[in-house]
């Protein structure tokens, strides 16, 4: 079984924030394979189970808020005894241009508090991930990282983000059906242009 975890913050207030792109992509995948989420209190998460071409998959949306995502993910991993290579964490990345996606088998947290929490709870950096570029306007001297990731996309970005969500949904399906290497070759060079 493959466990796909979308990171975000729970609640309607955060639904369309840049920081919630992981939730939106996992929601898109759930719609694509026609499964629904149910709250599982013992995992601090919304969980959905289904199949992608004969591969069992579980989709997880931690409800602990971003910075405590590791608490929820560790509960799921521990209960199902899933090796770390059976995970795929989907989250926003300030270090990638808006429209870029990157699949990696391991790596540092890169300053992202959600993936950092997961690494701390699982005691490893060898956690597969799909990083979604949300842009980085840090050239502006008044840039506030927290305000930016908790902001919604502007009107010019909304269509592009919908394309990124669709591309990311297909990338996840490729990881599950064909493995990381093929997915990395196919999607790591992609960039959704305006």
Tell me which residues are annotated as active site.
Answer: 19
Which two tokens mark 92? 């926003």
Instruction: Tell me if residue 139 falls in helix, strand or coil.
Output: coil
Question: Around 123, how many Cα atoms within 13 Å sit in the side-chain half-sphere?
Answer: 1
First to last CA, the chain: 36
The residues facing 101 across adjacent strands are: 132
Which two tokens mark 50? 């289904």
């Amino acid at each position: 079984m493959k466990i796909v975890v979308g990171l975000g913050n729970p609640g309607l207030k955060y639904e369309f924030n840049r920081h919630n792109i992981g939730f939106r992509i996992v929601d898109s995948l759930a719609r694509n394979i026609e499964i629904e989420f149910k709250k599982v209190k013992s995992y601090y998460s919304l969980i959905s189970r289904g199949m992608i071409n004969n591969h069992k998959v579980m989709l997880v949306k931690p409800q602990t808020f971003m910075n405590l995502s590791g608490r929820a993910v560790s509960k799921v991993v521990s209960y199902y005894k899933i090796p770390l290579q059976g995970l795929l964490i989907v989250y926003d990345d300030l270090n990638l241009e808006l429209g870029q996606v990157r699949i990696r088998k391991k790596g540092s947290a890169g300053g992202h508090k959600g993936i950092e929490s997961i690494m701390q709870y699982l005691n490893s950096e060898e956690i597969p991930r799909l990083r979604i570029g949300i842009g980085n306007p840090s050239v502006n001297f008044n840039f506030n990282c927290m305000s930016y990731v908790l902001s919604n996309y502007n009107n010019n970005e909304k269509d592009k983000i919908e394309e990124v969500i669709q591309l990311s949904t297909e990338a996840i399906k490729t990881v599950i059906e064909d493995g990381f290497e093929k997915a990395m070759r196919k999607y790591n060079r992609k960039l959704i242009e305006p």
